[in-house]
Amino acid sequence: MDMLDKGTEDLLEEHGKPRREVYLDSENSGLIFPEALDEMVKYYLELGYGHPSITHKVGWEAYEALIKVSKLLSSFIGCKPDEIHYLHSGTEANNVAILGLAKAYKGRRKILVSSIEHLSVIYPAESLRNFGFKVVKIPVDGEGFLDLDAFSSLIDSDTLLVSVGLVNHEIGTIQDVKGIVEIVKDKDEQILFHSDASDALGKLKFNLSDLGVDLATFSSHKVYGPKGAAALYIREGVKVEPILFGQLSTQRLWPGVENIPAIAGFGKAVEIMYNNFDKFHSKLKTFRDRLIDGIFENVDHVFLNGPKGEKRAPDNVNISFLYCEGEAITVELSLRGIYVSSGSACTSRILQPSHVLIAIGRKYEAAHGSILMKVAPMHSIEDVNYVLSQLPQAINRLRSISPLKP
């Protein structure tokens, strides 16, 4: 029976309406600042709804919006407005970065990516194997930090590109990208460095020129902006060939009509994050630690995935619950109004558990029982307390169903 033919109305009716809803799946998108949405609506209905390349008023307004966001974004992340290129998603930006560099630079044929990168970094790199590239995954330690000795030995004169994310999307590891770039550039200044910084934007303060990266990816939905916008920083002088072609655009790498409302909403979201940085940062860390500590106090047989403390992203909670399976946890928590994701194979199309958790050495059952929760500035302490009141019961119920016992 093909389930895609069916709607989900029946399912949702059975699901029912929980008494409180807490959305903790910002990894996979969802929450938006209302101000960012207002900004979008403005650019759909009031001004700038034209094409920014066309010579009329609403076109000029659209162009003005684009420039405004580039100036704003660049002021927060330490680059020039011209170095920001817009794309539709973090996934697309990572693809354009890796495939575009491979097209632009002839000769070198080796790409190094950390073994815990987002799949939108790993897969495009691996797709280049068909074109004579060698792709090597850099090992990490049990908390996701790059194994620097192993890394150093992998860099050679054939290396075109190194891609290491600033903050890991799943386990929150904050990588010493500056130090890693130094290792690379000390060996060979010509090697290019890309960093997926999607999980760093708005949640950490950093400066791109200080980090020394050549390319960096940012995604709108990860700063509680709208879906459908992302930015790729390309340092002046670095060549990236387009992989998409079309007619008319202000954006060399984005042919077609720019999504001005989404870009405007993205800009607004970044502005909100950095204008409230200290307040949000401390709030996120408080919620994160309260969740982690509360779970460890009330549930046995749990493991924290990723580092603790200052080297962990302020919003990231990733915990493995042994003796129960992650997909079942996501459904059980959903019935209680708590929305999370899992690294379990059962939530993946290919039925493989999270490559990140396997790369940090977690056993399969720990990966299958893992839950990723991301706290957000719009959460309240009551939300966090509600999660802590429900989660132990949810895990206990699933463990009571399981034939596996401690």
Partner 1 sequence: MSSRIPLPYPRKVLELFKNPKNLGRMEDANASAVAGSLACGDMIAIYLKIDEGKNIVEKASFESYGCAANIAAASIMTEMIKGKRLRDAWNISWKEITEALGGLPSVKYHCGVLAVGALRRAIRAYFKDKNLPKWLPEELTHEEKHALEEEKLMELLYRKNDSGKV
* Site for partner 1 contains 10 (CB under 8 A): yes
Q: Which residues of 389-401 are buried (b: 16+ CB within 10 A; e: fewer)?
A: ebbeebbeebbee
Q: Which stretch binds partner 1 (CB under 8 A): 38-46, 128-136, 223-231, 361-369?
A: 361-369
Task: Decide if 101 contacts 110 (C-beta within 8 A).
Answer: no
DSSP annotation of 203 reads: T
* Helix locations, 215-276, DSSP H: 260-275
* Site for partner 1 contains 100 (CB under 8 A): no
* Site for partner 1 contains 107 (CB under 8 A): no
* Site for partner 1 contains 358 (CB under 8 A): yes
By CB under 8 A, name the one of 20, 361, 380, 382 that touches partner 1.
361
From the candidates 346, 358, 378, 388, give the one annotated as an active-site residue.
346
Pairwise CA distance, residues 1 & 368, whole Å: 27
By CB under 8 A, name the one of 270, 273, 322, 376 that touches partner 1.
322
Closest residue by Cα to residue 133 from 101, 165, 164, 97: 101
Could you give the C-alpha distances from 175 to 114, 180, 259, in angstroms and in order? Answer: 11, 8, 32
* Site for partner 1 contains 212 (CB under 8 A): no
Side by side, the strands of the sheet bearing 341-342 are 302-304, 316-321, 370-374, 341-342
* Helix locations, 78-198, DSSP H: 90-104, 119-127, 148-154, 177-187
Minimal distance, residue 303 CB to partner 1, in Å: 6
- Please say if 346 is a catalytic residue: yes
Amino acid at 404: L
* Site for partner 1 contains 306 (CB under 8 A): no
* Site for partner 1 contains 74 (CB under 8 A): no
Helix (H, G, I), strand (E, B) or coil at 43: helix
Site pattern 255..294 for partner 1 (x: CB under 8 A)? ----------------------------------------
* Site for partner 1 contains 324 (CB under 8 A): yes
By CB under 8 A, name the one of 106, 130, 189, 350 that touches partner 1.
350
Q: Is 95 exposed, middle or buried (0-12, 13-18, 19+ CB in 10 A)?
A: buried
* Site for partner 1 contains 150 (CB under 8 A): no
Minimal distance, residue 377 CB to partner 1, in Å: 22
By CB under 8 A, name the one of 90, 165, 307, 353 that touches partner 1.
353
Q: What residues are annotated to the active site?
A: 346
User: Which residues sit at the interface with partner 1, rule CB under 8 A?
Assistant: 1-4, 6-8, 10-11, 13-15, 27-28, 119, 142, 169-170, 303, 320, 322-328, 331-332, 335, 341-356, 358, 361-366, 368, 372, 400-404
